[in-house]
Amino acid sequence: MNLEDLYRLLRNGHVEAQGIIDTVPDPLLLLDQNLCVRTASRAFFTTFEVDRDETIGQHIYDLGNRQWDIPELRRLLEEVIPKSTAVVDYEVEHDFPSIGRRTMLVSAHRLFHPDNNSRTLLLSISDATERRQREAEKDVLLGELRHRMKNLLGLVQAMARQTTATGRSGEEYRDAFLGRFHALVQAHDAAYAQEGEADLQEVLERTLEPYSEGPIAVVVEPGPAVPLAAKQSMSLSLILHELATNAVKYGALSQPNGQVRVRWDLEEASAPRLRLVWQEAGGPPVAPPVTSGFGTQLIEFAVSRELSGRVELNYQPAGLVVEIVAPLGSVS
């Protein structure tokens, strides 16, 4: 074998090795013992939108805008890796040039060597941004489910206590309680299954009916006709359920003489806006909460994200006052 054959063999081996690296879908970096880039995969160049000239031969901490110059990553690469063989899924969250804020999982492995003395590192990088977002959304949904189940059970207990037993037989009490409970089930079903437009007053009356046994505990004042799209109706129903549940458990509806009044009007600006006010009176003294509970967060989330509006919760001593302002034409 002459030098030309040897060169061809080495070149073919290099091309084949680079081809293997370029076939891997996740970005890869091969670092020498000084943590300088010996080679990188095609996925690395396309993911981070960089060129070979600004990558190969560069120290890892000098890449891009020094996004990899992170104290914890330094410790892993310079202290942990030399004493072990790998670090898996170290999370890096950073504003990367060209691609914005991303969450990357970095794994570092010492390159295998028969004598086990390799100082070369193979870094694999996986974009976990969307996965982390889905996990966060899942956590919110699970938290909401737990919260709603807890609220529902507490509400049923409160309804049982609130339903008048004096002067009624057992059957009459049972029928009165089950009637309110059935109305509650129907209102929840309607909140999740609304299709097509619905009138605001109809949504208010249907949603709030189960929360009061008497005719004056919940008063829906007449107002202008407001057609609601399906998504608006569902979001508003869920907000009302949350407010009413809290009123039954802790607020005005937890007292015999307590009352909730709901009123609304239309504000004509550049686009029509709904202004809805929930006002409680006759309940126990009200004080602002020390921390924001999950129910409050749900209301704020639903108003801002689902209705594209704003909400103010005023914890007045005489009773909670909630004001919701939302555009009528932005949600479909």
* Residue 122 shares a structural domain with residue 161: no
pLDDT tens digits for range 302-317: 788 778 899 999 999 8
When mean pLDDT is compared across 120-129, 149-158, 242-251, the lowest value belongs to: 149-158
pLDDT tens digits for range 191-240: 566 566 788 998 898 888 877 767 788 999 999 999 888 778 877 887 88
* Residue 158 shares a structural domain with residue 306: yes
* Residue 174 shares a structural domain with residue 109: no
Which of 74, 107, 127 is at the close of a domain?
127
* Residue 311 shares a structural domain with residue 287: yes
Confidence of residue 277 (pLDDT cuts 50, 70, 90): very high
Tell me, what's the pLDDT at 323? Answer: 96
Give percent above pLDDT 70 in the chain.
79
Which of 127, 149, 174 is at the close of a domain?
127
Query: The domain that contains 246 carries what CATH number?
Result: 3.30.565.10
d(CA 234, CA 190): 8
* Residue 98 shares a structural domain with residue 181: no
Does residue 119 lie within any of the structural domains?
yes
Tell me, what's the pLDDT at 10? Answer: 46
* Residue 287 shares a structural domain with residue 139: yes
The tally of domains found in the chain comes to 2
* Residue 136 shares a structural domain with residue 29: no
Which of 95, 127, 159 is at the close of a domain?
127
Full domain range(s) for residue 78: 3-127
Confidence of residue 85 (pLDDT cuts 50, 70, 90): low
* Residue 176 shares a structural domain with residue 316: yes
* Residue 9 shares a structural domain with residue 157: no
pLDDT tens digits for range 165-177: 777 788 877 877 7
pTM for the structure as a whole: 0.51
* Residue 89 shares a structural domain with residue 138: no
* Residue 105 shares a structural domain with residue 228: no
Does residue 332 lie within any of the structural domains?
no
Does residue 114 lie within any of the structural domains?
yes
**Residue 60 burial by CB count (10 A; 0-12/13-18/19+): exposed, middle or buried?**
buried
Query: The domain that contains 117 carries what CATH number?
Result: 3.30.450.20
* Residue 191 shares a structural domain with residue 83: no
